Structure 1
Amino acid sequence: MTALPAPRTFPDRHIGVTDPAHVEAMLAELGYDSLDALVDDAVPAAIRKPEPLDLPPGRSEEEILADLRALAAKNVVQTQMIGQGFFDTHTPPVIRRNVLESPAWYTAYTPYQPEISQGRLEALLNFQTMVADLTALEIANASMLDESSAAAEAVLLMRRANRAPASARAVIDANLYPQTIAVIRGRAEALDFEVEVADLSQGVPEGEIFGIVLQQPGDDGSVVDHAATIAAAKERGAMVTVIADLLSLTLIVPPGEQGADVAVGSTQRFGVPLFFGGPHAAYLAVRSGLERALPGRLVGVSKDAAGRAAYRLALQTREQHIRREKATSNICTAQALLAITASMYAVYHGADGLTAIAARAHGHARTIAASLRAADIALAADSFFDTVRASVPGRADEVIAAAAERGINLRRVDADTVSVSTDETTTAAHVSAVVEAFGAPLVAPEARSGDGSGDDFGDAGFGFDAALARSSDFLTHPVFTSVTSETQMLRYLRRLADRDLALDRTMIPLGSCTMKLNSTAEMEAISWPEFAGIHPYAPEHQTAGWRELIADLEGRLVEITGYAGISLQPNSGAQGEYAGLLAIRGYHRSRGDDQRTVCLIPASAHGTNAASAVLAGMRVVVVRNTDTGHIDLADLSAKIDAHRDELAAIMITYPSTYGVYDDDVREVCDRVHEAGGQVYIDGANMNALVGLAQPGRFGGDVSHLNLHKTFAIPHGGGGPGVGPIGVAEHLLPFVPDDPTGAYTVSGGVPVVSTLFGSAGVLPISYAYIAMMGADGLTRATKTALLSANYIASRLTRHFPVLFTGATGLVAHECILDLRALTAKSGVTAEDVAKRLIDFGFHAPTLAFPVAGTLMVEPTESEDLAEIDRFIEAMATIRGEIDAVISGEIAVEDSPLRLAPHTAESLISGEWTRPYSREQGAYPVERLRADKYFPPVGRIDGAYGDRNLICACPAPEAFEN
């Protein structure tokens, strides 16, 4: 009987090159007869893991979804009225399905190639406009990682922008959320400046102060007129940051109108689920004059080659990896997907809709306040927006339990105090149940008194002084007023998505960024209410499913990395670097080695490494690389000898950013350890190690991982990300702690986010690892090496490959060196990047880590046909470069310099270019069947920086 074929497994579907004939053909190109032989030559034997990964066998998609259902069922979904910066919300289904759950949005890369990113850039510009309008400040960036880290970035911004003495301190109000105070203190401790926590309602403390931080509403729910405090701080030469709840600003006078310099906060309650703490897009807005000090990304309006308005990332030289140790922030990722969701929520509701949501939540809070007052229960504040804090001496646990019996979570502040927060999802039934839990009668708010007494203030009928009621307009741009039906919303989202080029259409061959398949099965669970509807500070017994999933994922990552433990708190790779370096710093200090502050960083390292080291209070010393891309051991020894007593750490990216495995990595680690330093191995390129080598076993003391790269969490146009750290046994006491003190995790070291960071996307990596299994994960790594070396071998005939290992092979990526061709022809790497758009490709990584080059990474997800399509495109482009070199065409008139070609440029008017329309549009025949046309031509970046516009322009800006 003929044997039946085996069913296709998840790894078969995830890995692109699975046909044995294709594998054989690729190996033949490289001169190998087996994949294992290639891997043995590529990966140094000294670091190889001798035994296979000890992980359970791979699960099928059906099995893993059943597993996730079982885990989700262990979580208890309550009505969340805890507040503390996290509020329940309704995600409009049209946005959930067509943004959060749409691969057109979640598989996009950071918009560094703006011509193919116009859709998401417009959505992010909407976000900036929304924030600037609501805060009444001139400039807002395109999102931050979370509210607490945004507040910490604001403190650093004030410290840089204010020319106060180095001894000056920051003063933060005691009425900030505890997690925000914890994160700010951690940043300050690492950078060795003072932060004073004070009751700013009693006045600004004496002494040198560079900035103050207020919160509106405060942690206790109070809405306060900050105008006098802001004025007093400015009289003293201090700058002012206000942490502001964005929804409340539809009703309350905004920070910019009270004189604040900076406003920060979360946009989570604009349609983004609770997600057990993240990912959530924060915002940071500044007054005019501070835009060049702004951390993070900034979308601006420029013009393309035809003079049409077009979007791009503005002030790109501020990108922190370019500035390295001179960087002011290590934020290189944002929360683009969540910022887009929040911006579309504002488009969906408009100003009137947002105001109605705010008024409804506020009205429910007023009813709760009136009812508690009627029962003689004292409140922390008479002036509030959505949070009522009640004094119940000795009864807090009783009230919390009574509410829980009614399906509602409240916040236990202490044994005598309970806090209640209303939100968009709050109903009259919830209000009644909360009041019952306090043992109070339900009482309607008092009638408007008109004299400021009682529950209301003045004729506005608010639970805060009428003088604080907002009177200025917001969200007046047509984008927030013209989309009024779901039909319009659906078409707007589709129109924007069609302007972009994401992984759902084409390979994104970005080196060092691992744009791989994010399977639908992996993504499916994140929006289930049992995962998405859990508050980060929900009682521990209600989050058993989350904690079991997290513990399981941590265990699998421990096995993959070879470390003793994992912290999942950092919510980006850059935050992981920072947290890992803080762990090293804490370890040295615990041993009395406070002087160990020097961090060695090879020239080949990731750009954020140097910025992270500076933020962790370390001094960067660069170690040279050899001409072959390896660490210069002689220079390393010299730097170690020069700084032996001060040496804190070395940061190594492995495989290196040059795309090679350093054979002598163990020797590098040994030399640093011998001098008393620690070894930080940047795990950004972990996808070239999984199943083959473990950084925790070949010399690493700490590594961060990029779950949004190696472990399949999608990039989402520039976030969400997760950057957990793996640490050796001796560093376990120094991983980030719980920011609220509710759980004892470690030794109270500085925190970087909520307890589990961007927990909401962890089911993706959990599902990926579980479905791949040990064999699938190892096969993925081997396939990534095969694909990268196949591309390097095929393309080296057209473009030199800059670095290779000792055996002439690359790791998971290769660098194509265009510098000699540029010298001969004038054609730049940027010209090639723009011309690739005409072939329907996102460009490889441009000019990093070496100027004048392109770094290519195919990942394991791409099939041979797509890889060959890319090779065909690059070979065709080389032919066009040769035409310039031979004098057949001038570079300025070539399709390379005039790329990308819009449909309009090809069909409008008389064709005067020295090449045909067909060459411009269809440089290879296969494009005639499936063609992507960019919506704009090449964008003039310098014009955009000279004429900085970072909010939605008037519609006429897009007219000729």
Structure 2
Amino acid sequence: MNKIHFQEKFEERHIGPSADETADMLGVLGLESLSQLMDETIPAQIRTETPLRLPDAWSETAYLQRMRAVADKNRVFKSYIGQGYYDVVVPGVIQRNVFENPGWYTQYTPYQAEIAQGRLQALLNFQTMVIDLTGMEIANASLLDEATAAAEAMFMQYGLRKNKAANAYFVSDNIFPQTLDVLRTRAQSYGITLMVGHLRAIPAGDAIFGVLVQYPAGDGSVADYSSLVQQLHNRGISVCAVADLLSLALLAAPGEWGADVVVGSTQRFGIPMGFGGPHAAYFATKDAYKRNIPGRIIGVTVDSNGEYALRMALQTREQHIRRDKASSNICTAQALLAIMAGFYAAYHGPKGLLQIAERIHALANLLDSALQQLGYTQYNDTYFDTLRVELGELAGPLRAEALNNEVNLHYQGTVAGISIDETTTYQDIEALARIFAKLKGKTLDDADLQVHANRIALAIPQALLRKSAYLTHPVFNSYHSEHEMLRYIKSLETKDLSLCHSMIPLGSCTMKLNATTEMVPVTWPEFGGIHPFAPTDQVGGYMQLIGELDQWLSEITGFTKVSFQPNSGAQGEYAGLVVIRAYHESRGDTHRNVVLIPASAHGTNPASASMAGMEVVVVRCDEHGNIDVADLRANAEKHAANLAALMVTYPSTHGVFEEPIIEICGIVHQHGGQVYMDGANMNAQVGFTSPGRIGADVCHLNLHKTFCIPHGGGGPGMGPIGVAEHLVPFLPNHEVVQVSGTDGVGAVSAAPWGSASILVISHAYIAMMGAQGLANATQYAILNANYIKTRLEDHYPVLYAGANGRCAHELILDCRGFKTVGIEVGDIAKRLMDYGFHAPTVSFPVAGTLMVEPTESESQAELDRFCDAMIAIRKEIAVIERGEADRTDNLLKGAPHTVAKVSADNWERPYTRSEAAFPLPFVRSHKFWPAVGRVNDSQGDRMLICACPPVSAYESVEA
């Protein structure tokens, strides 16, 4: 009789291969068990002997029931705290069809443009929205948050300074505290002198290279900066404005009064507060700086058929190419949130945004009038949405009365800040006025709200009222009914390949299942509607969630403590290095600034080290792709006096568990350094080894890889860092909410716990998998990779393997030999689209190769479809090798083939339409059509268009 399970096991849904498939796959590998495979793959000296100490796995139903109880511990008060975070109305058509839709959130970064045209268009819309509202000439496709965007602006201004001796950056003291906190952390790393003060106190002389202002200011007041900017420009000083994007529907655009860079958050554009994130920041500047702007830029070009097409532009600026010389270390942005913000702008249009902004301002003005009638002093003569009310001796009683009415205000001494948002109603204004009236012994009648509701005066100087048009493109003026918006969203979704269609076998990117149950709680208001600066007694659910995840991830990594503040993997790298630097400084070793980085490392590693103010020394790899231990030892000895750290990825970027890893860590420790482990490949470690076991001191975890947060078409990501006990005191702190000890380094992101709302996804994954399920996931990730290796190694050379010929969770296929017949690795990537697959990682870490990572979530059937496609493509190359197909006009060079091309009246290719579009039987029954032909990257970089072109341009993009 079969064993009866009294609850369904989530791991059986998460892990792809069935028991029968597992047996068959092991047979192909010549093995009898998964244990045998693990023995042959993971070095014995790093294996852990004891299972992970985690709670028993929950079923999906039980988990959601439990999380309901956890969510109820979060008390959703009416928030008027502001400070960069505001409650919003998420349009239902966007929440259901984008935010909750795997057709949007399971896509990868759009490096393969032909199968990413939908999200590229959505991101182009976002850029256009930002350009229009800020009055600038170019914008990127989002950054992580407002504070780090301001830091990126500071770096860009520093790099562009005309006086290379200038080293001081002046920041207005009237900015949000979290932004100043991040600026201080980043400035210290880069050796920039940060000066903070009133804008009237900007010193004379030539020491200052840039100035940062906030608009409206941190206290909510609105000032005209135009004359100040002109004076600064006359001195050769650039200006960055941190601007509330929604306010720019009413206020003059910063580009109109001279700002050189404009940054901020698009959280107010339909993105829940989520206890701090994720939210898409924006970055806009002048066209002259397009090669200095950090992050991704979406640009317009043409495809091989001369049709309108989009792609990521100027990619040579990115960290994977330029490494420590990159303009930033940004690898993950906030694509999904930027897409939502762009759709929000399209849904409301310019008139709708103006109505929202006017309503917010009118309600603030109405409350201002009421409070003054009640006898209160309101300090902001000019404002958009924020009032500052003097409370005096009523400060304590008013705070208590507000809490009794489930209202949160922003308190600074005896002053209460009140920020009105999109969700505020007339009834809310009455409720606020009633609270303030009660403390004065008055009633609502004393405020005379009804009379003043119809004669509200603007509290914005006429000179600062916006007069220029914005969002004039048809995309922002065509989809205001829900039906039209729904169809527009779906029209773009169908152009994108996601995990809904097929496996995305990207090496190092771990595109595994993002289970629906993991995603469900993210949209609950008990998680989405919480302000990151809400009182701690209102966020018990979040504290439990974060505390449990801290314990579980510490157990998984073998570390003592985890900081969740870094909201991307690259930011985790930076944070880890800053923590290491602080540790050395606490010991008097202020001179330790050398970081050893293997040649095979991710490009973010040297870029992050450079951002942290470190000197990068590259360590060679041997002919097998492993770290050259002798070269490592020599460099460690050479730089022993200044050695700060080693950055190492494990398993290696080449997909191998390097045998001497413990020795490598020992060498670094012997010479006074710390070991930073890049956690990109943690999916091959969980339950069998750990960074702590191996000898690392700190490791970032890509929660959007190993722990199932979706990639979202290029973000959100999450990169918390785990540290050994001696580094715990130095974990990032926060200016507003203390999250670390007094020795903690400054904030590395805007919110205390980073993108807190999506932590529930990883929490759900670990809770539902349990210790054994997580270990099984590791085994199957390694099984699936080795199965692909075995099936393909007779067709493509496989680079690198462990001592027993096994790869870890990923493998590298060498495609360089096909150059002899004119076939590049990119041709194979494009041809895979005709088979319905996203290409593996192209030309990283080795040029001319494909790095394949199947993850544990793919079934044998899906793995076989991918292998069959790769083998069929190899046969197509063989036809060229035999001289039976033209070297420049063949199936690979013509790929990808669009439905328009295949169905055209004329077909002039030397191969058939069927061979082009339906190369294998399974393709015919499940065809995904690339939206455009091969994209012309070089033309797009020569003629960069990073905003929606006018309608006429759609007819003749080539002109």
TM norm structure 2: 0.97
Cα distance in 2 for residues equivalent to 1:492 and 1:948: 25
Question: CA RMSD, aligned part only?
Answer: 1.5
Cα distance in 2 for residues equivalent to 1:4 and 1:412: 58
Residue 530 of structure 1 deviates from its aligned partner by 0.5
| Conserved? CA contact 1:684–1:706, under 8 Å | yes
Cα distance in 1 for residues equivalent to 2:3 and 2:47: 37
Cα distance in 1 for residues equivalent to 2:527 and 2:361: 27
Would the alpha carbon gap of residues 369 and 207 (structure 1) be closer, same or farther in structure 2, given more than 3 Å must change? farther
| Conserved? CA contact 1:165–1:208, under 8 Å | no
Cα distance in 2 for residues equivalent to 1:686 and 1:205: 52
SS in 2 for 1:68: helix
Cα distance in 2 for residues equivalent to 1:201 and 1:406: 40
| Structure 2 match to 1:776 | 773
Cα distance in 1 for residues equivalent to 2:476 and 2:192: 42
Cα distance in 2 for residues equivalent to 1:591 and 1:805: 39
The one-letter code sitting in structure 1 at the alignment partner of 2:131 is A
Query: Is residue 2:430 matched to residue 1:432?
Result: yes
Cα distance in 1 for residues equivalent to 2:525 and 2:737: 27
Cα distance in 1 for residues equivalent to 2:5 and 2:730: 51
Query: Is residue 2:546 matched to residue 1:550?
Result: yes
| TM-superposition CA deviations, 1:283-313 (whole Å, max 9, x none) | 0000120111000000000000000010000
Would the alpha carbon gap of residues 854 and 826 (structure 1) be closer, same or farther in structure 2, given more than 3 Å must change? same
Query: Is residue 2:753 matched to residue 1:756?
Result: yes
Q: Which of 817, 825, 838 is residue 820 of structure 1 equivalent to? A: 817
| TM-superposition CA deviations, 1:357-403 (whole Å, max 9, x none) | 01111111111212222234222320000010112224323222211
| Structure 2 match to 1:209 | 208
Q: Which of 649, 653, 678 is residue 653 of structure 1 equivalent to? A: 649
SS in 2 for 1:574: helix
The one-letter code sitting in structure 1 at the alignment partner of 2:422 is E
Cα distance in 2 for residues equivalent to 1:651 and 1:360: 51
Structure 2 segments unaligned to the other structure (5+ residues): 441-445
| Conserved? CA contact 2:335–2:713, under 8 Å | yes
Residue 578 of structure 1 deviates from its aligned partner by 0.5
Residue 232 of structure 1 deviates from its aligned partner by 1.4
Q: Which of 442, 445, 451 is residue 447 of structure 2 equivalent to? A: 442
SS in 2 for 1:682: strand
Q: Which of 580, 584, 595 is residue 580 of structure 2 equivalent to? A: 584
| TM-superposition CA deviations, 1:568-616 (whole Å, max 9, x none) | 0100001100000000000000001011000000011111000000111
| Structure 1 match to 2:118 | 119
| Structure 2 match to 1:565 | 561
| Structure 2 match to 1:452 | none
Query: Is residue 2:381 matched to residue 1:382?
Result: yes
| Structure 2 match to 1:133 | 132
Cα distance in 2 for residues equivalent to 1:211 and 1:920: 55
When structure 1 is superposed on structure 2, of 395-404 and 142-151 the one drifting more is 395-404
Percentage identity across aligned positions? 52
Residue 328 of structure 1 deviates from its aligned partner by 2.0
| Structure 2 match to 1:878 | 874
| Conserved? CA contact 1:845–1:855, under 8 Å | yes
Q: Could you list the runs of 4 or more consecutive aligned residues of structure 1 that deviate by over 3 angstroms after TM superposition?
A: 1-8, 201-207, 443-449, 741-746
Cα distance in 2 for residues equivalent to 1:433 and 1:206: 51
Cα distance in 2 for residues equivalent to 1:282 and 1:32: 50
| Structure 1 match to 2:269 | 270
Cα distance in 2 for residues equivalent to 1:214 and 1:290: 20
| TM-superposition CA deviations, 1:531-555 (whole Å, max 9, x none) | 1000000000000011001100110
| Conserved? CA contact 2:729–2:740, under 8 Å | no
The one-letter code sitting in structure 2 at the alignment partner of 1:9 is K
Residue 163 of structure 1 deviates from its aligned partner by 2.2
Query: Is residue 2:728 matched to residue 1:732?
Result: yes
Query: Is residue 2:904 matched to residue 1:905?
Result: no
| Structure 1 match to 2:296 | 297
| Structure 2 match to 1:182 | 181
| Conserved? CA contact 1:691–1:774, under 8 Å | yes
| Conserved? CA contact 1:110–1:717, under 8 Å | yes
| Structure 2 match to 1:868 | 864
The one-letter code sitting in structure 1 at the alignment partner of 2:123 is L
The one-letter code sitting in structure 2 at the alignment partner of 1:610 is P
SS in 2 for 1:697: helix
Cα distance in 2 for residues equivalent to 1:447 and 1:405: 27
Cα distance in 1 for residues equivalent to 2:451 and 2:136: 35
SS in 2 for 1:210: strand
Cα distance in 1 for residues equivalent to 2:565 and 2:464: 37
| Structure 1 match to 2:808 | 811
The one-letter code sitting in structure 2 at the alignment partner of 1:735 is L
Q: Which of 607, 626, 631 is residue 611 of structure 1 equivalent to? A: 607
| Structure 2 match to 1:717 | 713
Task: Count the aligned residue pairs.
Answer: 948
Cα distance in 2 for residues equivalent to 1:865 and 1:8: 23
Structure 1 segments unaligned to the other structure (5+ residues): 450-454
Would the alpha carbon gap of residues 33 and 653 (structure 1) be closer, same or farther in structure 2, given more than 3 Å must change? same
| Structure 1 match to 2:371 | 372
Would the alpha carbon gap of residues 448 and 699 (structure 1) be closer, same or farther in structure 2, given more than 3 Å must change? closer
Cα distance in 2 for residues equivalent to 1:539 and 1:568: 19
The one-letter code sitting in structure 1 at the alignment partner of 2:16 is G
The one-letter code sitting in structure 2 at the alignment partner of 1:436 is R
| Structure 2 match to 1:142 | 141
| TM-superposition CA deviations, 1:307-341 (whole Å, max 9, x none) | 00100000011121211111121111100000001
| TM-superposition CA deviations, 1:207-264 (whole Å, max 9, x none) | 4211000001111110100111111111111000000000100000010000000000
Cα distance in 1 for residues equivalent to 2:94 and 2:12: 32
| Conserved? CA contact 2:366–2:452, under 8 Å | no
SS in 1 for 2:300: strand
Would the alpha carbon gap of residues 207 and 390 (structure 1) be closer, same or farther in structure 2, given more than 3 Å must change? farther
| Conserved? CA contact 1:370–1:446, under 8 Å | no
| Structure 2 match to 1:833 | 829
Mapping of 1:602-681 within 5 angstroms? 602-681=598-677
| Conserved? CA contact 1:370–1:445, under 8 Å | no
The one-letter code sitting in structure 2 at the alignment partner of 1:420 is I
| Structure 1 match to 2:419 | 421
| Structure 1 match to 2:443 | none
Would the alpha carbon gap of residues 910 and 369 (structure 1) be closer, same or farther in structure 2, given more than 3 Å must change? same
The one-letter code sitting in structure 2 at the alignment partner of 1:539 is P
| TM-superposition CA deviations, 1:694-731 (whole Å, max 9, x none) | 10122000000000000000000000111000000010
TM norm structure 1: 0.97
The one-letter code sitting in structure 2 at the alignment partner of 1:328 is S
Cα distance in 2 for residues equivalent to 1:766 and 1:5: 24
Cα distance in 2 for residues equivalent to 1:2 and 1:269: 55
Would the alpha carbon gap of residues 304 and 5 (structure 1) be closer, same or farther in structure 2, given more than 3 Å must change? same
Would the alpha carbon gap of residues 184 and 145 (structure 1) be closer, same or farther in structure 2, given more than 3 Å must change? same
Residue 779 of structure 1 deviates from its aligned partner by 0.2
Residue 201 of structure 1 deviates from its aligned partner by 4.2
Residue 445 of structure 1 deviates from its aligned partner by 10
| TM-superposition CA deviations, 1:716-762 (whole Å, max 9, x none) | 00001110000000100111002325565442412111110000100
Cα distance in 2 for residues equivalent to 1:688 and 1:55: 18
When structure 1 is superposed on structure 2, of 200-209 and 878-887 the one drifting more is 200-209
The one-letter code sitting in structure 1 at the alignment partner of 2:236 is G
